Amino acid sequence: MNRIFSGIQPTGNLHLGNYLGAIRNWIDLQNEFECIFCIVDLHALTQPQDPAELRGSTREVTAAYIAAGIDPERCTIFNQSMVSAHTELAWLLSCLTPIGWLNRMTQFKEKAGKHREMAGLGLYAYPVLMAADILLYKATHVPVGEDQKQHIELARDIAGAFNRRYERDFFPLPEPQIFGTATRVMSLRDGTKKMSKSDSSDYSRINLTDSGEMIALKIRRAKTDPEPLPSTIADLEHRPEADNLIGIYAALCGLSREDALGKFAGRNFSAFKEALSEAAVEVLGRIGDHMRRLMAEPGYIDGVLRCGAERARAIAEPVLREAQQISGLLRP
């Protein structure tokens, strides 16, 4: 059976990259697969968080899932800390994960920066918890943006390590699903840097809750180069900002990159930016409005999360028990 698992950290400021790289792709998948979408609050704790803000962001990400079109009746939506099996399985898996595998994780290196010795153990062990998130549900497919590919490959390696150690095919090897024309949305201020929740420049990203005016302003201010848009994708190669904006436009309008570029070949950026703004305001404006309506009803959101956690536990707990039993833990 095919089962999808994916998640987002509730660390504030959900942005266009999260939407185009992940959430938007989930919408169609709910028709084909059994889907589990998590708000990974334990992962958020790997960096300092204000407790009240973390609770608020957890509700906000839940609202974004629903506002973007994920149906809480058909899909399981829950926050990770409500299902303790995630951390329990993470321990079993961490005992099978060589440190060398974790040392290769580029995201740890980026986040820990120069002060590696001061980075928390949780940040270092993060990919093992992520593997546990996926394997706990025996998920077969994991739809994410490109930056998560290495973590999913590690989850596959960890699943393989468990299966080999205990000589059985217990965990399926999860497949990353990275699709669309915006699998890596870049900063609007610097086309060589990923659009990120933690970027200190507000103009670097479009947030899902930005007003129409703010979206338009950010796009007007987006960095570009002085040349008009070329007619072939190959000519975008050394123009990261232009390449990024074309990818975003294509994803928002459901076009290929070629078709998106074809509409503006030879034109200057001001005309293109106007069209991009219109497309972004149309798609994100609707989601932002719906999110705000949902956020005004925290009781409804909490109900969705409670019900989702119950459904998640019903899948996760038997898998954890079996993994514990296979590992030799006595459960008298």
Q: How far is the CB of 268 from ligand TYM (least distance, A)?
A: 26
Residues 6+ apart with CB under 8 A from 61: 8, 10, 14, 39
Residue 213 C-beta: closest distance to ligand TYM, Å: 23
User: CA-CA distance, 140 to 263, in Å (whole number)?
Assistant: 38
Closer to ligand TYM by CB, 38 or 293: give it: 38
Read off φ and ψ for residue 152, nearest 5 degrees.
-75, -35
> 35: helix, coil or strand?
strand
Cβ 220 vs Cβ 251: under 8 Å: no
Nearer to ligand TYM, 167 or 260 (CB): 260
Nearer to ligand TYM, 148 or 224 (CB): 148
Contact 273, 222 (CB under 8 A): yes
Closest CB to ligand TYM belongs to which residue? 21
C-alpha–C-alpha distance, residues 62 and 58, integer Å: 6
105 or 236: whose CB is closer to ligand TYM?
105
Output the smallest distance, CB 331 to ligand TYM, in A.
26
User: Does the annotation count 111 as an active-site position?
Assistant: yes
- Of 111, 149, 193, 263, the catalytic one is 111
Which residue in the list 138, 193, 197, 223 is annotated as catalytic? Answer: 197
Residue linked to tokens 């497949």: 175
The distance of closest approach from Cβ of residue 102 to ligand TYM in the complex, given in angstroms and rounded to an integer, is 14
CB 70 within 8 A of CB 30: yes
Q: Which is nearer to ligand TYM, 204 or 224 (CB)?
A: 204
Angle separating helix axes 85-94 and 149-165, nearest 10 degrees: 70
CA pair distance 178, 89, nearest whole angstrom: 26
Helices of type H across the chain: 16-18, 24-32, 41-44, 51-68, 85-94, 99-103, 106-112, 121-135, 149-165, 212-221, 240-253, 257-264, 269-295, 298-327
Q: Is 263 annotated as catalytic? A: no
Site of interaction with ligand TYM (CB under 6 A): 5-9, 17-18, 21-22, 40, 43, 130, 133-134, 142, 144-145, 147-148, 151, 183-185, 194-195
* CB of 6 or CB of 58, closer to ligand TYM: 6
What is the spatial distance between Cα 94 and Cα 22, in angstroms, rounded to a whole number? Answer: 27
How many whole angstroms separate alpha carbon 73 and alpha carbon 159? 30
Closest approach, Cβ 195 to ligand TYM, in A, equals 4
CA pair distance 289, 286, nearest whole angstrom: 5
Provide the pairing of β-strand 175-177 with 141-143: parallel
Note if 138 is an active site residue: no
- Smallest separation, CB 208 to ligand TYM (Å): 12
| Closest distance to ligand TYM from the beta carbon of 133 (Å) | 4
Q: How far apart, in Å, are the Cα atoms of 164 and each of 55, 176, 183, 185?
A: 39, 21, 33, 37
- Active centre residues (catalytic): 111, 194, 197
